[in-house]
Amino acid sequence: QVKQQFESRANTNCVVFTAIEYKTQVVAGTMYFIKVQVSNAGYVHLKVFQSLPHENLGPSLVNFQTGKTRDDPLTYF
């Protein structure tokens, strides 16, 4: 759901966009840290905020880290 937000902010087009792993952090909503495969050997880490259900807002890309590999640990950032 945040692919277009990532592509726009990273100024790229992803043929592959597959979530591999994720972690959550409960805040006033939920913060998701997601490892996403964007090419054969390319990975990015996304920080995505999902607000509380009564706010009726979709997920929002907060931050991202590029240049990751499949073996890079997914950390809170």
**Domain CATH for 9:** 3.10.450
Each residue's pLDDT, cut to its tens digit, for the chain (77 residues) gives 899 999 999 999 998 999 999 999 998 899 999 999 999 889 999 999 999 988 888 899 999 999 999 999 999 89
The pLDDT tens digits for 61-70 are: 999 999 999 9
Q: Is residue 73 situated within a structural domain?
A: no
Residue 74 belongs to a domain? no
Q: Which of 44, 21, 46 is nearest to 31 (CA)?
A: 46
Domain that holds residue 29: 1-68
Strands 60-68 and 18-27, bridge-based pairing: unpaired
pTM: 0.90
Q: State the total domains in the chain.
A: 1
Q: Which of 69, 6, 56 is nearest to 32 (CA)?
A: 6
Query: Is residue 62 in a domain?
Result: yes
Q: Is residue 43 part of a domain?
A: yes
